[in-house]
């Protein structure tokens, strides 16, 4: 069995003990991380190696930053999206075994209609083009991370409150679907189409304890990987740890 996971850690410097403990407990073959919030030269490589993992990363101080941790040495890493000039470090790709792994920290967008929302639109258009290119040369492709889009009403604790709001707007959901139309499948929705499986809970108002969240962290897989997919789950207990990230890890298991 192969386990591939994603986790927005909301500062690797703060959450490193959580990541190391989680790696020891779950032993994923691959773990994609988002929101590292540290410079390229500040990545805790020795601690990751001591845990039994190799790593490639794309760091940025204070904001953004992504990484791929894996038990096998990641090959042919590419930082950022080709043909898209962006100072924000939001993408890294590498090949692990026979799988092309693309880790993404997608743009939030702030509010529908804002300048940041326009940036989010340009960013998703570039991502779609980038992923389509990768799929041409890598049959086994997985795109995973924090997408900042809840693709279905079941992925939102209160559909009326979030109706046409950022992360849940019809427009953003169309961008998400356009990405799937490249040849990808939403693995968790495929396994549990009728189940509410949240991955993010606001720090405010005890949202986690009240189980009021959104599903915005996804593992998207190409058709050959979908045929090997066995299950997808959310490791919600990590959200309840002391000083947690506001996201929980998502884990896909493959034959």
DSSP-derived 3-state class of residue 227: coil
**Between vectors from CA 245 to CA 202 and to CA 57, what angle results, nearest 5°?**
130
Sorted by sequence, the CB contacts under 8 Å of residue 206 that are 6+ apart come out as none
Give the Cα separation of 82 and 160 in Å (integer): 38
> Residues 122-133, buried b or exposed e (16+ Cβ, 10 A)?
ebbebbbebbee
Contact 71, 33 (CB under 8 A): no
Contact 145, 66 (CB under 8 A): yes
Give the Cα separation of 230 and 240 in Å (integer): 26
146 is annotated as an active-site residue: yes
153 is annotated as an active-site residue: no
Give the Cα separation of 246 and 236 in Å (integer): 10
Strands 91-96 and 229-234: what pairing? unpaired
Q: Which two tokens stand for residue 110?
A: 């702030």
Which among 29, 53, 80, 105 is annotated as catalytic? 105
Give the Cα separation of 73 and 80 in Å (integer): 19
Which among 53, 80, 130, 146 is annotated as catalytic? 146
Nearest to 89 by CA among 39, 43, 14: 39
The residues annotated with a catalytic role in the active site are 105, 146
């Amino acid at each position: 069995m192969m386990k591939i996971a994603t986790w927005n850690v909301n500062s690797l410097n703060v959450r490193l003990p959580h990541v190391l403990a989680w790696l020891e407990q779950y032993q994923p073959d691959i773990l994609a991380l988002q929101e590292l919030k540290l410079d390229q030269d500040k990545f805790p490589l020795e601690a990751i190696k001591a845990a039994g993992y190799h790593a490639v990363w794309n760091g940025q101080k204070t904001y953004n930053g992504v990484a791929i941790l894996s038990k096998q040495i990641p090959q042919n890493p590419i930082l950022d999206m080709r043909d898209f000039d962006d100072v924000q470090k939001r993408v890294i790709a590498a090949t692990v075994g026979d799988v092309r792994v693309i880790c993404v920290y997608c743009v939030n967008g702030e509010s529908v209609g804002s300048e940041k929302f326009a940036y989010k639109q340009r960013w998703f258009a570039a991502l779609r083009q980038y992923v389509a290119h990768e799929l041409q040369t890598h049959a086994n492709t997985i795109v995973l991370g924090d997408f900042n889009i809840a693709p279905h009403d079941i992925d939102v604790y209160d559909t009326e409150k979030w109706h046409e709001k950022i992360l849940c707007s019809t427009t953003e959901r169309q961008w998400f679907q356009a990405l799937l139309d490249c040849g990808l499948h939403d693995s968790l929705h495929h396994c549990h189409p009728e189940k509410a499986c949240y991955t993010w809970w606001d720090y405010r108002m005890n949202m986690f304890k009240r189980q009021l969240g959104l599903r915005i962290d996804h593992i998207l897989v190409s058709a050959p990987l979908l045929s090997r997919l066995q299950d997808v789950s959310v490791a919600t207990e990590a959200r309840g740890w002391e000083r947690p990230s506001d996201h929980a890890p998502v884990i896909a298991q493959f034959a």
